[in-house]
């Protein structure tokens, strides 16, 4: 079977890997000029841990928003 995976983030790459192991023909499409999605590391001569934080949304997910009252996290 021929399958197209949209997005080369961790989930997209893992899905493509697993589908290939099952014998499918997989094409991964990514809009950016790199893979990794919101996970990205950038090397630095001075940083001991050169990770750049994943991008975040200004709106919390509904799962997180529902857990805030129980966890005591501020809005």
Per-residue pLDDT tens over the stretch 10-53 = 999 999 999 999 999 999 999 988 888 888 766 655 555 545 45
Q: Are 52 and 38 in contact (CB under 8 A)?
A: no
Give the pLDDT mean for 48-72.
Answer: 53
Q: Which has the closest alpha carbon to 60: 75, 47, 48, 71?
A: 75
Task: Show Cβ contacts of residue 52 under 8 Å, excluding neighbours closer than 6 positions.
Answer: 40, 41, 42
Q: What is the pLDDT of residue 68?
A: 53
C-alpha to C-alpha distances, 31 to 27, 52, 72, nearest whole angstrom: 13, 19, 38
Q: Are 39 and 16 in contact (CB under 8 A)?
A: no
Higher pLDDT, 3 or 46: 3
Give the pLDDT mean for 49-70.
Answer: 53
Where does the pLDDT of residue 58 fall: very low under 50, low under 70, confident under 90, or very high at 90 and above? low
Query: If you count them, how many residues does the chain have?
Result: 75
């Amino acid at each position: 079977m021929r399958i197209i995976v949209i997005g080369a983030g961790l989930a997209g790459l893992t899905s493509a890997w697993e589908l290939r192991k099952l014998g499918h023909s997989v094409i991964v499409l990514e809009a950016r000029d790199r893979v990794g999605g919101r996970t990205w590391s950038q090397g630095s001569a001075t940083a001991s841990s050169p990770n750049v934080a994943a991008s975040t949304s200004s709106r919390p997910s509904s799962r997180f928003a529902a857990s805030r009252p129980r966890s005591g996290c501020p809005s």
